[in-house]
Amino acid sequence: MIGEDVWSHFGMWGAVAVWIAIYGIFILFVPFYKKSQWKPAGTFAAFVVAFAIEMFGVPFSMYAIGWAFGTQLPEGILWGHTLQQYIGDAGSWFGAILSLLGGILVVLGWKAIHKNYWSKEAGQGKLVTAGIYRLIRHPQYTGFFLITLGMMIGWATLPLIVLYALLVVLYVRLAKREEKDMEREFGDEYVRYRKRTKMFIPFVY
């Protein structure tokens, strides 16, 4: 049996809408005129929607597990507050900090690239290597990784784990494709920049 206290945070559809609006706004910071951005951005949107519904609306993971295994697992086992029992409130705050840091990276990356590249006419944009781009080549994608990872720290359900893995794969592939485009556009200047910076994590990767 599942206690009423467990169900108290479900059915809050207003909270679902607010959560989607708050986190979905980061999608506006990617260039939708590029078709290559659609799938990764769509996956990020799906993650946000799935998280909001699982957290405040309906525990789809619990129903799926019950259907697949013929039993109803208690909250914390692949649905609900899956990691809360291990990480406590401090872990939840750490997840919130990760998401906030990710949001900052998305905005900083957008600000620099929009000012110096996206807003320019074709062939007139310059290679951005200052600011956050001095440390990593894809701060916005790192930002998306951190936002979603922070959300999952206290709520790692089956759909979110699958969507997170897909998100990482799609953005890594997109980053590699964009780097080839940058090399064609900027030549040796970009090659030198790529050699002295990391892709997603400063000093590591």
Domain span including residue 94: 4-196
Is 202 among the domain residues? no
Decide if pLDDT at 183 tops 50.
Answer: yes
pLDDT tier for residue 74 given thresholds of 50, 70 and 90: low
| Structural contact between residues 82 and 89, judged by C-beta atoms closer than 8 angstroms | no
Q: pLDDT by residue (tens digit) across 106-152?
A: 999 998 888 877 655 555 678 999 999 999 999 999 999 999 999 88
For the chain, the domain total comes to 1
Decide if pLDDT at 73 tops 80.
Answer: no
- What pTM was estimated for this model as a whole? 0.82
Is 201 among the domain residues? no
Is 203 among the domain residues? no
| Structural contact between residues 179 and 193, judged by C-beta atoms closer than 8 angstroms | no
For position 56, which CATH number holds?
A: 1.20.120
Is 132 among the domain residues? yes
Which of 84, 72, 83, 79 shows the shortest CA–CA distance to 58? 79
Is 204 among the domain residues? no
| Structural contact between residues 118 and 179, judged by C-beta atoms closer than 8 angstroms | no
Is 135 among the domain residues? yes
Is 205 among the domain residues? no
Cα distances (Å, whole numbers) of residue 121 to 53, 117, 183, 187: 41, 8, 18, 19
Is 78 among the domain residues? yes
pLDDT tier for residue 3 given thresholds of 50, 70 and 90: very low
